[in-house]
Amino acid sequence: MTIFVSLGHLDGEEMVKFMSWAQGIFLFDPNAASYIENVNIIFKLHIFLGLSIFLIFPFTRLVHMLSAPVRYLWRGGYQIVRTRKEKS
């Protein structure tokens, strides 16, 4: 419980700062970074790591989850049955 008090977000003040920051980013506000300049470093690190995932996502294999299953939406219903061929 004491860690939450030291981070200072029990009253919602930190969340209001982050909401203002997100709105500033969305509206291309050049002063958006100033809204979160005095928040705890843990929050800034969390934002940095979270946004880094979006930055590196197109260069990972995880991007295949967006394209690979699409063909299954339009395929017909069929079942593949495999049989063993006996060697002669």
How far is residue 75 from each of residues 15, 63, 68, measured CA to CA in Å?
45, 22, 13
- Each domain of the chain, given as residue ranges in start order, spans 2-60
Please report, in tens digits, the pLDDT of each residue of the chain (88 residues total): 455 546 655 678 888 999 999 999 999 999 999 999 998 898 899 999 999 988 998 888 777 777 766 666 676 666 667 777 776 6
For residues 67-88, one letter each, b for 16 or more C-beta atoms within 10 angstroms of the residue's C-beta and e for the rest, the string is eeeeeeeeeeeeeeeeeeeeee
Question: Which pLDDT value is given to residue 68?
Answer: 62
Q: How far apart are CA 19 and CA 43, in angstroms?
A: 13
**Measured in Å, how far apart are the chain's first and last C-alpha atoms?**
73
Q: What is the pLDDT of residue 86?
A: 72
